[in-house]
Structure 1
Amino acid sequence: MPASSAPLYLQSSVSALRGVGPALVQRLQRMDIWRVQDVLFHLPSRYQDRRHLLPIGTLLPEQEAAVLGEITQVEHLRGRRDQWLVTLSDGTGQLYIRLFHMLAPMRAQWQEGRRLWCFGETRAGYQGLEMVHPEWQMADQPQFEAPTHLTPFYPSTQGITQAQWRRWVAQALTLVDQLPDYLAKYLGPAWPPLGEGLRLLHESAEEVPTPAHPAWQRLALEELLANHLAIRSARTAGDETGAPVIKASGSLWTAFLKQLPFALTAAQQRVIAEINQNMAQARPMRRLLQGDVGSGKTLVAAAAALTAVEQNYQVALMAPTEILAEQLYDRFVEWLTPLGIQVGFLVGGLGQKARREVLENLHNQRIQIVVGTQALFQDEVKFAGLGLVIIDEQHRFGVDQRRQLLEKGTIPHLLVMTATPIPRTLAMTVHADLDLSIIDALPPGRSPVETLVVADTRRAELMTRMQHRLAEGDQIYWVCPLIEESEILALQAAETSYADLQAALPEVPIALVHGRLPAAEKARVMADFKAGKTRILVATTVIEVGVDVPNASLMVIEHAERMGLAQLHQLRGRVGRGQRQSSCILLYHPPLGGKARARLQVMRDSRDGFVIARKDLELRGPGEYLGTRQTGLLQMRVADMMRDEALLAELPRLATQLLHENPEAVQALIQRWLGNRLDYSQVG
């Protein structure tokens, strides 16, 4: 343990704090607290007010209180478990202190006639009101100090007490005035200085500081800015190396448009222009394309791919599942083969011979566009000239996977697409390394999908509705969250539903598809459904994205209460793709919990993916919504992206000012808040 006279610095290891030995160092590091400075930014999660003494005679049961009185009796109660009963009096009444262990040094202090301060929760005992093992100090000692500020309680871990946290914070606070305040120059007078805010949050002498308090908001702003700068700095580093300048004449795109049976929306045209402008520069495009289910993102991806192919570059299009990859592959083959473009397909389930052929054709550039899954970024996949990477449903991929695929080309352009919208202000923060495009209009002719929330006790009515739909020539999806029966979750599994529907509708062709089917079998089942040979498709959520069957007009989602809003919205988007009036039935098993009820209510009330995304954020929080491990988003220490959304608008201005005027402060802020987690910023 370091000597108490050892100098202490903000950047010192936590081992420099008095009372922190090797075992505690490890515990603190597991909480991502490495330096003395980190202790300052470890804020209380709650406070107690121990400043005001209450007369003992006024106390009530189950009341937290600070009292000061004289010890009038100390009684040792012997039995199966020794205990001590101490009587405390202040002239207004008596309080009993019950202690179940009292070491010899403590027994030497707890003597009749001594003055005692203690804080705890009262309870009704045999003799009267009592406190069990309260916090205490002998009040007749010169070193006694009654609390003058709120008592903080810190997030902790096993083996670290609140008393230890308070001692360590007190040591760190002696250095708070040495903490550089990088934002003071750029913030108005309403914002407290950094050191003043930290001292208030640790030692508030007045009100309980809530997250709306200016001191808390000041720290939240700085933390959000540090995360924003980390991602933005990674983007800047990537911009230093040149990307292929892809400035196509548009002849392939013109030929492609002539064969389309429909016109592009204005939103699609705007986004395509943004992408073309990016790819015509030596700076690598890093663009996030958000569009609601059915908004035509795949067509935009095809436009970007044609621009790259026209300039003799290859394109890699990565999807999260084999079913989605196959759907995209089929669509690209249908669209682009007439233009003389060779499209390849590469997934994990591909046979060895077919795989070798694809790899060889990629290497010699006989394949210009390859569609696949994570198999695309395996080491043996070599491109002759990769110029564009397109990632569909990007939130399903980790940043490491994204980086691996980008490394397949010199510096390829990157387009990531998602139908899980993120509010613009949040996207500007989480994806500060990406420019943002939004397709905010659906193609004409898409009829709104009616959404019904139905208890699973009404299956008979549902069967009648399904028979009417089938009689009119429509097709039906029936989606379940599990493949097999689970005794633990007791959910209706896809296999059980498949058997039940076959029994209820014996004359109707019904098929089952799920993630464990071999790729060839999945492809056959999906092809039969698309061709109308199968009337009802029972599926797990593998059909969440990518499937396009215009004749399917009814979607039934079993145990909808167990699914997230984004997933429910994606599934609902599988219907309503033709001219038929479509419906989505959210089947739930009562009773519904509060959050489940709220989710289903949102689905019933709204068809706007951006509205639904916002509600999803409110219900789940950004970490869960964005997928912390997948996006690299760290859990914030102070900030909350939904609660502190108003602060997000400040980030681009502050970041730009710091990058231009004080780049050293940028790295210092990133180090202050991210510390040993700097890999977060390396997002490709």
Structure 2
Amino acid sequence: MAARLAPLGIVRVEDLLFHLPSRYQDRRQLHAMGRLQAGQEAAVLGEILDIRPQPGRRPQWCVVLGDDRGAVLQLRFFHWVGVMRSQWRPGRRLWCFGEVRVGGNGLEMVHPEWQLADTPDFCLPDRLTPFYPSVAGITQAHWRAWTDAALALSDELLDPLLHLLPAGWPSLKASLYRLHRSADAVPGDADPARQRLALDELLAHYLALREERRLRRCLPAPVLAAPGAYWERLRQTLPFVPTAAQLRVIAEIRADLGATAPMRRLVQGDVGSGKTLVAVAALLQAVEAGYQVALMAPTEILARQLHQRLEDWLQNLGLRAGLLLGSCSAKERRPLLRALADGELAIVCGTQALFQEGVDYARLGLVIIDEQHRFGVEQRRRLMAKGSMPHLLILTATPIPRTLAMTLHADLDLSVIDSLPPGRQPVATVVLPDTRRDELIARMRNVLAEGRQIYWVCQLIENSELLELQAAEDSYTELCRALPEVRIGLVHGRLPAEEKQRRMRDFVGGATQILVATTVIEVGVDVPAASLMIIEHAERLGLSQLHQLRGRVGRGATQSACILLYRPPLSARARQRLQVIRSSHDGFFIARKDLEMRGPGELLGVRQSGERALRVADPLRDEALLEIVPDLGENLLRTQPEAAGVLIRRWLGSSVAYGDVG
């Protein structure tokens, strides 16, 4: 049993108490058999009238149960266990709970839960019956027995917050009893007992991240202090003036890099806010200080584009950047790896290939990760291990509401690029049913006649009858047929890397007028001449993804538009999403709405998203709790410093070690 419990994170008796029911049933009321209805879950009490085995390929046993009003109910069992063989007989009384179904001889229950009701220890349930998340081999009876035994020991639980919380908050023991053995209503999200546990959990995450941050500041990092000559030379060659927000964030990063403690900074910026320039400013300071920089992007397309932009900006400074991808041949990799190991190459862009075995750095001082939510914690950890406590800069265009970020990323310093470059016009967003496709294609001719380019985004490579999505290949064929005079390209994830890059270069260079693509172009791809974005089946995408896709246009001087095609009828949730994206261009507002509709998921952790799972708390729903967590945490550390470890172990266990990779 211990081996089966371990994957659930249950290794101590205490862990059982924080493995909470996922739902409850009310079995307290007895139902008259004559009033039962199919589909109903009900508890009944009656006398066994008959037991009939039914032979066949799959033997069955049918038990006829009658109540005091003369009504009967049939019970059907496929497993006739020992206690039933030895103790069940006509005349004995039986309590059962199960789902009522229509059988061959009227209403019946198949394998209901049961107890003999004519024994001295029988009593009707007086509380809600809890159901726990489980695994194979562990029954609900196990969970209820184990949690009964653990609750009996709950006086031994330390409750460090009890005397720090205002009057009216329940104790930890009372909260656990209510959640495991509620005697009345189902404890909902706003129930004081659930709120108390949510507060404890959020505080544990905050304390763990705060402690990791404190320990990290005691570790020596390379001091990347430099006059900034490279950066000033680059600014003089830029065809635009950096925004005040960019300059503010750059100054924050420069101060971090010049300190002895390792930088761990998260830079949030909306689509098109200029995060890449901020990253280049940090890169130049590290290189000027004599160290190497690794920039990791989530896809080869984005890594190549980032590399090209670096090459454009750095060529006047006499610097070059290498490109290391999984698709690179051994012949291409060999000189690059040698240059990194010897320290001859200071800057390298790439994907996960940057941290593979055999990739060594002479003096890795700074790691920059773009769109960090696409990398798992272990991937980030392996890249960081390539240097001796290098500085870390994380870039994301997926805004996190500030209250969440300050608490759930308490180990990171936060910078926000909160303005767009001057001259950027909002993208006009239109919602259209796909019944108007022909009209839309006709209007596309006007856009193309003005020398502009178009994205046409699909969600699948091939047709799926199940999802009824228009596939990229079908859309490509349809557009080629409707617009034979237009140069159209097709890009999707199954293309070989070289072919994918060639087709992307054709579009960036203007050789292709329309690019039909899957969502591989969601992040980072920059084509100023593209002024129209068409997204098929937009109702199936999340708000943040729609906002990212829309951000691929509107990068030039021409007014741009985004057409959201949907297939009627729209669900209420889909209609709400499309209304939000149509009416707003504020990435933080959109991200918040996205969280409200989809849930925050795992904001901290070790899975592919890189975030630890929260068991009870919901950072968005419990935002009011997040606001009191920092002060409560400081108070606890001041008055009961040893209690912080108790809370961290209780809620996080062994996963704490992953916090230092951002």
TM-score normalised by structure 2 residue count: 0.90
1:651–1:500 Cα change, 3 Å: same
* Structure 1 residue 75 corresponds to structure 2 residue 75: no
The answer (yes or no) to whether the contact 1:95–1:130 under 8 Å persists in 2 is no
1:67–1:529 Cα change, 3 Å: closer
1:431–1:474 Cα change, 3 Å: same
SS in 1 for 2:646: helix
Cross-structure match for 1:398:
376
* Structure 1 residue 556 corresponds to structure 2 residue 556: no
Cross-structure match for 2:233:
255
Cross-structure match for 1:87:
66
* Structure 1 residue 439 corresponds to structure 2 residue 417: yes
Within the candidate set 45, 50, 70, 2:22 is matched to 45
Cross-structure match for 1:15:
none
The answer (yes or no) to whether the contact 2:377–2:605 under 8 Å persists in 1 is no
Structure 2 matches for 1:476-495, cutoff 5 A? 476-485=454-463, 491-495=469-473
* Paired residue type of 1:30: P
CA positional deviation for 1:459? 2.0
- CA distance in 2 between counterparts of 1:632 and 1:441 reads 28
* Paired residue type of 2:63: W
- CA distance in 2 between counterparts of 1:415 and 1:312 reads 18
Structure 2 matches for 1:16-415, cutoff 5 A? 24-52=1-29, 64-66=41-43, 71=47, 74-77=49-52, 79-80=54-55, 81-89=60-68, 94-96=71-73, 98-100=75-77, 105-106=83-84, 109=87, 117-120=95-98, 134-415=112-393
- CA distance in 1 between counterparts of 2:609 and 2:217 reads 20
The answer (yes or no) to whether the contact 2:306–2:349 under 8 Å persists in 1 is yes
1:459–1:384 Cα change, 3 Å: same
Cross-structure match for 2:652:
674
Cross-structure match for 1:6:
none
1:481–1:123 Cα change, 3 Å: closer
1:129–1:256 Cα change, 3 Å: closer
SS in 1 for 2:259: coil
Which stretch shows the higher mean deviation, 363-372 or 655-664? 655-664
1:124–1:577 Cα change, 3 Å: closer
* Paired residue type of 2:131: F
1:625–1:232 Cα change, 3 Å: closer
- CA distance in 2 between counterparts of 1:130 and 1:560 reads 46
Within the candidate set 499, 503, 507, 2:481 is matched to 503
Within the candidate set 417, 437, 440, 1:462 is matched to 440
Q: What are the Cα deviations for residues 162-189 of structure 1, in whole angstroms up to 9, with x where unaligned?
A: 2222111111111001011122232222
1:104–1:556 Cα change, 3 Å: closer
- CA distance in 2 between counterparts of 1:571 and 1:465 reads 21
* Paired residue type of 2:13: V
- Unpaired stretches in structure 1, ≥5 consecutive residues: 1-23
- CA distance in 2 between counterparts of 1:375 and 1:267 reads 32
1:627–1:404 Cα change, 3 Å: closer
- CA distance in 1 between counterparts of 2:605 and 2:560 reads 31
SS in 2 for 1:529: helix
SS in 2 for 1:415: strand
Cross-structure match for 1:655:
633
1:348–1:174 Cα change, 3 Å: same
CA positional deviation for 1:286? 0.3
CA positional deviation for 1:270? 1.8
Which stretch shows the higher mean deviation, 452-461 or 469-478? 452-461
The answer (yes or no) to whether the contact 2:375–2:610 under 8 Å persists in 1 is no
* Paired residue type of 2:220: G
Q: What are the Cα deviations for residues 58-88 of structure 1, in whole angstroms up to 9, with x where unaligned?
A: 777765555556x3x6223465544221322
TM-score normalised by structure 1 residue count: 0.88
- CA distance in 2 between counterparts of 1:259 and 1:391 reads 25
CA positional deviation for 1:584? 1.0
The answer (yes or no) to whether the contact 1:121–1:131 under 8 Å persists in 2 is yes
The answer (yes or no) to whether the contact 1:66–1:120 under 8 Å persists in 2 is yes
CA positional deviation for 1:395? 0.9
- CA distance in 2 between counterparts of 1:342 and 1:263 reads 23
Cross-structure match for 2:623:
645
- CA distance in 2 between counterparts of 1:112 and 1:490 reads 56
RMSD: 3.0
CA positional deviation for 1:313? 2.0
- Unpaired stretches in structure 2, ≥5 consecutive residues: none
1:475–1:660 Cα change, 3 Å: same
- CA distance in 1 between counterparts of 2:331 and 2:102 reads 79
* Structure 1 residue 526 corresponds to structure 2 residue 510: no
CA positional deviation for 1:582? 0.7
Q: What are the Cα deviations for residues 296-322 of structure 1, in whole angstroms up to 9, with x where unaligned?
A: 101111111122222222222111112
Cross-structure match for 2:589:
611
CA positional deviation for 1:593? 4.4
The answer (yes or no) to whether the contact 1:114–1:138 under 8 Å persists in 2 is yes
Cross-structure match for 2:565:
587
Cross-structure match for 1:630:
608
1:625–1:459 Cα change, 3 Å: farther
Q: What are the Cα deviations for residues 593-650 of structure 1, in whole angstroms up to 9, with x where unaligned?
A: 4544443333222222112212222222222788972243233332223322322223
1:177–1:511 Cα change, 3 Å: same
CA positional deviation for 1:677? 4.1
- CA distance in 2 between counterparts of 1:400 and 1:45 reads 30
The answer (yes or no) to whether the contact 1:342–1:366 under 8 Å persists in 2 is no
SS in 2 for 1:549: coil
- CA distance in 2 between counterparts of 1:312 and 1:675 reads 40
The answer (yes or no) to whether the contact 1:337–1:343 under 8 Å persists in 2 is no
The answer (yes or no) to whether the contact 1:393–1:418 under 8 Å persists in 2 is yes
CA positional deviation for 1:285? 0.6
The answer (yes or no) to whether the contact 1:658–1:666 under 8 Å persists in 2 is yes
- CA distance in 2 between counterparts of 1:41 and 1:96 reads 39
The answer (yes or no) to whether the contact 1:315–1:369 under 8 Å persists in 2 is yes
SS in 2 for 1:295: coil
